[in-house]
Amino acid sequence: MYKSTRGKSKEINSSEAMIKGIADDKGLYVPNEIPKIKEALETICSFTYKELATYILKHYLNDFNTEELNTCITAAYENKFEHKDIAPLVKKGDAYFLELYHGPTAAFKDMALCLFPHLLKTSLEKNEVNNEVVILTATSGDTGKAALEGFANIPGTKIIVFFPENGTSNIQKLQMTTQEGSNTFVIGLNGNFDDAQSGVKSIFNDSQFNNKLLENKYILSSANSINIGRFLPQIIYYFYAYGQLVKNKEISVGEKINVVVPTGNFGNILSAYYAKEMGLPINKFICASNENNILYDFLTTGIYDRRRNLKVTSSPSMDILISSNLERLLYHLSDNDSNLISSLMDELSEIGKYEISENLKDKLVDFYGGFATEEATAKTIKYVYDKYDYLIDPHTAVAYHVYENYKQYSNDTTKTIIASTASPYKFPTDVCKSLDISIDSDDFNTINNLFSISSMNIPSNIKALKNKNIIHNNNCEVNEMKSLIKDFLKVGE
Ligand SMILES: *Cc1c(COP(=O)(O)O)cnc(C)c1O
């Protein structure tokens, strides 16, 4: 069963938690207890991705049976990924890049968003919900497209995505504005990602607006990693990566590994923490930020202070000041102290800052925070290319830079997985600039320039973008979000 981190909502099943997205007390749903694996680690290491998906999710989706799970998992991972391994692990030097970007939108969000719509559809059937679910999502670039792709033409759902008009890469924007499917709606917001995220959160919390939608047989839900349907499937690939290390005889069963995660909303790294709590031998969680280094500050001082300006960087999916899923981690580390979490989160929303106790800070020992400047990010892309003939995108470069710093600081030689979260072809201009390759005003020419020096294929979904028409040409201010939603859903005053 699932309960809220803020302790004032009743316990519900996994299917209900996926439908609701966020709890009524504004907290995030967490399992009563993080389950432990009972199977021997050695056995799990030999599972295929899909077998592992069923195995892991069975521990969490308390009201799904195996057949339902298998149906969802097959629909999600069969034929949708361009690599047969789904999430291949690639060794370069002493690092292992876990390539999470072989799905339909070339970023790691696909790992969960291929599956989540199917889990949600099953949840709706289970709970005999006849209302249409409206997925409302704020995106810093990648979630939006992955959610659109996952939900397009799924019966019983509509999807609305707000992205920061000038906060994404051109390719990311084009991926969203060309989205097909009559149940999709995409809007550029005049503001940054935090404006979009706060706007969406306040709509979720507006009971009058929600009642209005309900009268019209709509219920709102979310595809951000605040939804358990989004972050639980991300646990799978940490186990999978570990299994590949064992299979390739890089480690022995039971040996600890480190993970480096380029972090924004703290969803991906939180999934790694869940994997460890379930029994996966993880030593350090290395949390990598870009110049929006609020998490680095937090992990080094215990003070979370969002009173600063958001910077637009070459790793836009990490341009975030409010890392929502940190709330879940603090909840677990404080032994489920929902009163504490409520008051910290109230402080964050009222004064923009909170500080945790020394005692709680001590419990963060397994988390190491680091960050990369824009200059370091560009240098890292070039370094990895020159040294290994391997292209990485700016998000992955942030992670690699922090990994190098960590090694120097710690002398830790534990085998380390780098979560490689996006295809370099999604950010061709920044990658080419880093490599001193000529860039063109037409991104597709830039992509070809990049391809000409690389042994890496261009994802077919990015190639196909060139010939797509722009379908969504909407733009709005923060205070217009609600009225646009009403227009799209044809809900009157
Ligand atoms: C979303 C995203 C991230 C950040 O992941 P979180 O789960 O939000 O921390 C990093 N890199 C890429 C490419 C992303 O799309």
pLDDT > 90? residue 141: no
To test the pocket of ligand 1, the residue of 318, 377, 392 to mutate (highest count of ligand atoms within 8 Å of its CB) is 318
Please report the atom of ligand 1 found closest to the CA of residue 320: 8
Tell me the average pLDDT across 438-442. Answer: 93
Ranges 165-174, 258-267, 352-361: which has the least confidence: 165-174
Backbone angles phi, psi at 369, to 5 degrees: -105, 140
Active site residue 379: no
Does the structure show a pLDDT above 90 at 198? no
- Nearest atom in ligand 1 to 268's CA: 7
Q: At what angle do helices 193-204 and 481-489 cross, to 10 degrees?
A: 60
Q: Which atom of ligand 1 is nearest to the CA of 267?
A: 7
Q: Is 368 helix (H, G, I), strand (E, B) or coil?
A: strand
**Of 192 and 34, which is predicted with more confidence?**
34
Residue nearest to atom 11 of ligand 1 (CA): 421
Q: How confident is the model at residue 197 (pLDDT cuts 50, 70, 90)?
A: confident
Torsion, Cα of 38, 41, 43, 46 (10° steps): 140
101 CA: nearest ligand 1 atom: 13
Measured from CB, residues less than 6 Å from any atom of ligand 1 are 107-109, 142, 225, 262-268, 317-318, 395, 421-422
Q: What angle do CA 296, 288, 86 make, to 5 degrees?
A: 150
Predicted pLDDT at 142: 86
- Mean pLDDT for the chain? 95
- 362-388 residue pLDDT tens: 999 999 999 999 999 999 999 999 999
Average of pLDDT values for 280-294?
Answer: 98
Atom 15 (ligand 1): residue with closest C-alpha? 142
Q: Which of 98, 149, 226, 395 is the best mutation target for the ligand 1 pocket, counting ligand atoms within 8 Å of the beta carbon and taking the most? A: 395
Q: Is the predicted pLDDT of residue 493 greater than 80, yes or no? A: no
Cα of 378 from ligand 1 centre, angstroms: 18
pLDDT per position as a tens digit, 325-357: 999 999 999 999 999 999 999 999 999 999 999
Cα–ligand 1 centroid distance for 375 (angstroms): 20
What does the DSSP assignment read for 80-109? S-SSTTSS-EEEETTEEEEE---STTSBTT
| pLDDT computed for residue 395 by the predictor | 98
- Ligand 1 centroid – CA 313 distance (Å): 13
Q: For residue 186, give the 3-state DSSP assignment.
A: strand
- The pLDDT assigned to 12 comes to 97
3-state secondary structure of 285: strand
pLDDT digits (tens, 9 = 90+) for 99-128: 999 999 999 999 999 999 999 999 999 999
* 97, 197, 259, 263: residue to mutate for ligand 1 pocket, most atoms within 8 A of CB: 263
Q: Please choose from 171, 222, 265, 420 the residue to mutate so as to test ligand 1's pocket, defined by most ligand atoms within 8 A of CB.
A: 265
The per-residue pLDDT for 71 is 96
The whole-angstrom separation of Cα 66 and Cα 55 is 9
Contact 396, 100 (CB under 8 A): no
Span from the CA of 235 to the centroid of ligand 1 (angstroms): 14
Given this model, what pLDDT does residue 9 score?
A: 93
Rounded Cα gap, residues 35 and 246, in angstroms: 23
Determine the distance separating the centroid of ligand 1 and the alpha carbon of 227, expressed in angstroms: 15
Give the distance (Å) from ligand 1 centre to CA of residue 239: 19
Percent of the chain predicted with pLDDT > 70: 100
For residue 120, report the distance from its CA to the centre of ligand 1, in Å. 22
- Neighbouring CB atoms inside 10 A of 130's CB total 8
Compute the distance between CA of residue 437 and CA of residue 428 in angstroms, rounded to an integer.
10
Which tops the pLDDT comparison, 223 or 404? 404
The pLDDT value given to residue 222? 84
Which member of 3, 26, 109, 145 is catalytic? 109
With bands split at pLDDT 50, 70 and 90, how would you rate the model's confidence at 225?
confident
